[in-house]
Chains A and B, each alone.
Chain A
Amino acid sequence: MRLGTIGALLGWLFLFLSVVLLIPIAFSIYYDDGNWQFFVISSAIGFVLGGGLVWFCVSEPEIGHREGFAIVAFSWLAAAALGALPFYLSGAIPSYLNAYFESMSGFTTTGATILKRVEVLGPSLLFWRAFTQWLGGMGFIVLSLAILPILGIGGMQLFRAEMPGPTKDRITPRIQDTARILWSVYVLFTAVETVLLMLAGMSFFDAICHAFCTLATGGFSTRTDSIAAFHNPWIDLIVIVFIIIAGINFSLHFRLLSGNWKTFGRSEELRFYFGIGIVATIFVMLANILFATYDSWSDSLRYSTFQVWTILTGTGFHTANFDQWAPMCKITLVTLMFLGGMAGSTTGGIKQARILLFCKFTRMQIRKLIHPRAVEAIKLDNRKVPAEVIQSILGYLSLYAVVFVFATLIVTGQGLDMVTGSVAVIATLNNIGPGLAGVGPCENYAHIPGLSKGVLIMCMLAGRLELYTIIILFVPSYWKDVRYPRWRWSKA
């Protein structure tokens, strides 16, 4: 555990973000919303902090796997802190805690907001909100791996900590190339969706913001009523299609784009993902017809499809206030919140691969009762899944349950009612955004007490980095062999 390495890399991250913070200025000037100076100040703060850290801390030549976790975790915490500054400085969000919540909700692609009406932010801040989601969706550390040579050594440790998942598929021998490919695919899809949304009638500003938040499965919209504000079935359709795309493993997209149809069709997880989404859609649609939520079955289909996919992938856009739906539909949506999209996608939640392997493990346990001496292998895509992977999935699920229970205890302990409290934890831990009751699609998170907000912020980050990267920071033995930074002026 070398703090010097961590400090130096955090410094580089601040420098990177200080550059990124200049982008919204273009929108600020174009729309003349008077917020440009706040971005300049934030950028300057980032530059000074980053420059200082880079100057003072000497990075070790190699990043160990322990440092990897700390670098990623602290980078995210720091990025959210810096990303909150424009909201705070502009006075749009007067409390820094709320600004931090909004910023973390952005970077972790959660989409939970503390704003009653988002329109008060003005174009440049709305763009920044969407942009944080886009950066967080594929992971800004992966992005810096792709474009910055500084993270060359030990990049794999960071990649693993930021883009975890039950299964690993490297599409190139060098991790930098993989990062570059994933980001290219991501940028390509974002561009395509922006163009399509503009063709469907959105302005360029709305289109690019929504494209950012769809591909990142984030869910920040430029309107308080989210996608519902546009009253346009074509926009609904485009957004659904890209939500589904964002829930698919990006290395599969790359294979498809490079002409390899076969792996795409063969992926068991993909079939499982579509199977769950389609069955849930039909189920919720039938329930909505049964309880006569909508006048026509076509409305039922339209709203059920959108809500099911947006919740399943943890996007959090909405076209209907599903808090008003029948309890059966609501409980279905809450169950879907846990699932998430495919491993290697930008979605939150447990991930389909883990669910699928867990189902297979359960089936194997049952078969073992019938044939006590049978030897079985759990297979994914016709390849054997090693026992360690299954064990880590079981551990992951238990840890997930423990985190959920503890977070809910704290949140409900501060006076939130049972549905609001538990669903708020579920919606942040799985990076969904809107939940039910007090945090429903037409409500916001502003009324939640301070400590609970802190817990939910940690839930968002733990959910985005898939628990271990965050949980490990709370283990005392992780900090045992801390080595303080070697300052630049000290003799080696």
Chain B
Amino acid sequence: MRVVVIGAGEVGRHICQQLSAEDHEVVLIDRSADRLKRAERDLNILCIEGNGASARTLEQANITKTDLFIAVTDIDEVNLIACIMAKEYGVLRRVARARNEEYFSGVSPLNEYRLGIDLLINPDQVMAQEILRISEVSEAFEVVDFAHGEVVLVGYQVKEGNPVCGVTLADLRDLRGLYDFVIVAIVREGETIIPRGSDLIQAEDRIYLVVRRRDMAAVEDLFNLWSMVPKKVFIIGGGRVGFRVAKALEQQKVDVALVETDPIRCEHLAEHLDSAVVLNFDGLDAHDLLSEGIDTADLVVAVTDGDTTNILSSLLAKYHGAKKCITRISRPDFIPLLGKLGIDVALSPRLVAANMILRFVRRGAILSVASLLGSDAEVLEFVVSERWVNVDNPLRSIDFPMDTNLGAVVRKGKVIIPSGDTVLKAGDRLIIFSMKKAIPMVEQLLTS
């Protein structure tokens, strides 16, 4: 597949890296020669300097032969115009990033369908959605829906003293009894293990389970974890992400306190929020945070623009007894390190937005894709079609690539734990856990 990406910012670079690693032909267009030089050095892609919305540059990038066009510059209008141009050139699928919320309003007569954009993505909105998804379950650091939300993939951190420490997966399988769940992966010290029956669960492991949504409570009970909707949430940073999260949470009748340094921004927030309390002080002001009761918070969301403020205020909240924290960090390289520090969930807006775009790009037979934070694994959902070569074959006859694990088969809402004898039928949903480098092979297998 030939892909043209305009905008060599964080998101653009991440997408280029991912797609070129998957053996696609990637062309990157940007106005800054500096940024392009860096991208060219690191990645195996073609770089073109120029304005992404100009016909000359696009023709230079051989736009007519392109299958996918991704516009992720910092300027919304450039992205939108570039996508409209790409449509005229006959590019099949077009993705644009737009920050300005007004372009998303449903009432406008000129929405994304009219403009011929297949996916219009707002990084703040996506980030806020991600935070809200994770906030639902207190101890899970990752929740991904599959099969229309009937099945979820949940990630848990196993803490010292948890009864499942030192138990092998085979033992757990006997213990499991009534509930269907599969442990699809264990992340131990930054390394992803696709576990076998004899593997032990150890303290500080991050385990990924596939479970039916309605069994989630029972499974959490089994793992001595608890889950609930947060009652009291502190949001540090009243930017666009903080505002969106606050707005969504207050609609769920959650107690929200929103901390913001800028008094003018505070006025704006107070005007547009209802029950949420808008507090005007610095996110690192420990005394004020404590007097407002951050120690009793169920969830702390640190989403200021400064990584240091986010990390420090999350650590402060955790130290004083806040139950869980979600921290925004703009440098994804630090994510593995933050787990060690005690930060429960670290999200990079760039990764989140890029993953959303990648998920869209891979749409087809593969329904959804989630990159798991802090690991180099992805989860794919795939519906078995009647035409697939391996339909009605037992699993043992299918040649799965290395570093890939068929996590679960969902058949008519029931989770089946696959064994060698499991026969795949048309309409089954497969939830596949795979290392990133094996994804092209998985795609090939699934679409053959």
Contact = CB atoms under 8 A, between A and B. Distances in A.
Interface stretch (A10-18, A106-114, A368-376): A368-376
A373 B281 contact: yes
A379 interface: yes
B269 A375 contact: yes
A377 interface: yes
A384 B267 CA distance: 10
A383 B272 CA distance: 8
Contacts of A373: 279-281, 288, 292
B271 A371 contact: no
B263 interface: yes
A365 to B, nearest CB: 15
A373 B283 CA distance: 13
Given A371-B277, A371-B279, A377 B270 contact: yes
Interface residues of B, number: 13
B187 interface: no
A377 B279 contact: no
Contacts of B279: 371, 373-375
Contact of A377 (B271, B280, B288, B292): B271
A367, A371, A375: most-surrounded residue (chain B CB, <10 A):
A375
Interface in B247-275: 263, 266-267, 269-271
A384 B271 contact: yes
A149 to B, nearest CB: 40
Nearest to B281: A373
B416 to A, nearest CB: 50
A375 B292 contact: no
B278 interface: yes
B241 to A, nearest CB: 19
A376 B271 CA distance: 7
A379 B271 contact: yes
A367 B270 CA distance: 13
B429 to A, nearest CB: 43
Contacts of B277: 367, 371, 374
Interface in A346-379: 367, 371, 373-377, 379
B273 to A, nearest CB: 9
Contacts of A367: 277
Classify chain A's interface size. 10 to 19
Nearest to A367: B277
A375 B270 contact: yes
B335 to A, nearest CB: 32
A8 B267 CA distance: 47
Nearest to B263: A375
A367 B275 CA distance: 11
A201 to B, nearest CB: 50
A375 B238 CA distance: 12
Nearest to B280: A375
B209 to A, nearest CB: 40
Interface in B401-423: none
Contacts of B267: 375, 377
A371 B271 CA distance: 17
A377 B264 CA distance: 12
Contacts of A374: 277-280
Nearest to A379: B271
A374 B266 CA distance: 9
Nearest to B292: A371
B266 to A, nearest CB: 4
A379 B269 CA distance: 12
A376 B288 CA distance: 17
Contacts of B269: 375
Contacts of B292: 371, 373
Nearest to A370: B277
B100 to A, nearest CB: 21
A383 to B, nearest CB: 8
A367, A371, A377: most-surrounded residue (chain B CB, <10 A):
A377
Contacts of B266: 375
Contacts of B280: 373-375
B259 to A, nearest CB: 9
A433 to B, nearest CB: 40
A177 B263 CA distance: 41
Contact of B278 (A376, A379, A384): A376
Q: Shortest 7 CB-CB distances between A and B: which pairs? A: A375-B266, A377-B270, A384-B271, A377-B271, A375-B278, A375-B280, A375-B270
Given A373-B280, A384-B271, 20 more contacts: A371-B277, A371-B279, A373-B279, A373-B288, A373-B292, A374-B279, A375-B263, A375-B266, A375-B267, A375-B269, A375-B270, A375-B278, A375-B279, A375-B280, A376-B270, A377-B267, A377-B270, A377-B271, A379-B271, A384-B270
20 contacts: A367-B277, A371-B277, A371-B279, A373-B280, A373-B288, A374-B279, A374-B280, A375-B263, A375-B267, A375-B269, A375-B270, A375-B278, A375-B279, A375-B280, A376-B270, A377-B267, A377-B270, A377-B271, A384-B270, A384-B271
